[in-house]
Amino acid sequence: MHDDQTQNRQTMEAADLKSMDISQLAVFLGSLGEPPFRAKQIFEWMHKKRAVDLEQMTNLSKDLRSRLRQSAKLTVLRPVRVQTSKLDGTKKYLFALEDGNSIESVLMRYRHGNSVCISSQVGCRMACRFCASTIGGLVRDLSPSEMLEQIYRVEADCGERVSHVVVMGTGEPLDNYDNLLQFLRLLSDPNGLPISQRNITVSTCGIAPKIRALADEKLQITLALSLHAPTQKKRERLMPVAAQYELCEVMEACDCYFAKTGRRMTFEYSLIHGVNDTPEDAEELAALLAGKNCHVNLIPVNPVRERDFVQPDGYETLAFKNKLEKYKINVTIRRELGRDIDGACGQLRKKYEEGCGGA
């Protein structure tokens, strides 16, 4: 076997320390003959003190550090490009993963704090027609440590705390369910620098059985459903996943999420001119959501180079919102941030991989 193949195998088999909770770390350290209290020490080094190298963990013996280097790894993402919006200070990051893949994350600054939008997969297999992230299909799932690292590296870069996290970047989080759950637990672990579950939002295209499974976890996170159309027929045209999980089944799963967690659902609706933004669409949407304790987020569709979808103008967007409000639906129009820096999901990564470097 070639040297680099041997090295590859070693990297692949190395235990991913940053993806483990304290009890898993204790089991792993036990296998190295170490006492359980080491687990909390190492956990704090990674998640509280944000060590980027095992060598920084100075209360571990040299010998233990060297044994850890042989059998484990400390996942750290490398920023390869950072773009800052001149309009609103939004920052878009392109991170390199260990295996050469790259992912995007976005820092948005609001009055209520800093919010980071993270990716959950490299690429996506959901094939929503208006989305740039899905054009090359799914490459692979992200590990819990790779999801966490996006937040840690953004904090290190901007020198500020992140208070809110939205899992709305590239990928379908519920298609990477186990890693997502582990990530959510680590992110809100009181032994790290916890982010309150109430400040975490997970957005899904509507994988109904996984929404029900998530409801049973009884987390306090906000769940956002990418609705984008008020009827099954229209939704299928925009989102292939709708053929697999019908609208009524998805809405029932969302009701179940609210019933079990008490958390109000968010429904995302990307307005596409001439496709889903007519007064009839608004009426149908109001009927679909009638009586639900929910919030609707209207997002004028972000034009993607490979797609020919067009945003409604400001007047049409407002008319859609007003119609929903007439039916007493809670609704906001999402402020567009970072328009000048490849705002739409997946656009920066695509440009980078095509070699035109986010110019």
What are the residue numbers of the active site? 104, 345
* Stretch touching ligand SAH by CB under 6 A, among 97-105, 128-136, 137-145, 322-330: 128-136
Minimum Å gap between C-beta 188 and ligand SAH is: 20
C-alpha gyration radius of the chain? 21
Residue that has been written with the tokens 């859609």 in this structure: 320
Rule CB under 6 A: say whether 223 interacts with ligand SAH.
no
d(CA 146, CA 186): 12
- Give the Cα separation of 199 and 201 in Å (integer): 7
Site string for ligand SAH, 331-350 (x = CB under 6 A): -------------xx-----
Neighbouring residues of 140: CB distance < 8 A, sequence distance ≥ 6: 101, 121, 122, 123
Q: How far apart are CA 133 and CA 343, in angstroms?
A: 12
Residues 19-58 interacting with ligand SAH (rule: CB under 6 A) = none
Among the listed ranges 63-71, 107-115, 213-221, 297-305, the one in contact with ligand SAH (CB under 6 A) is 297-305
**Among 8-16, 198-206, 212-220, 317-325, the segment contacting ligand SAH (CB under 6 A):** 198-206
How buried is 291 (Cβ within 10 angstroms: 0-12 exposed, 13-18 middle, 19+ buried)? exposed
From the CB of 91, what's the least distance to ligand SAH, in Å?
18
Q: What are phi and psi of 178, to 5 degrees?
A: -65, -40
Say if CB 39 and CB 23 are below 8 A apart.
yes
268 belongs to the binding site for ligand SAH (CB under 6 A)? yes
Out of 143, 203, 266, 276, point to the residue binding ligand SAH (CB under 6 A).
203
Among 75, 115, 226, 276, binds ligand SAH (CB under 6 A): 226
Residue 116 touches ligand SAH, criterion: CB under 6 A:
no
Chain positions contacting ligand SAH, by CB under 6 A: 126, 128, 130-131, 168, 172, 203-205, 226, 268, 270, 299, 301-302, 304, 344-345
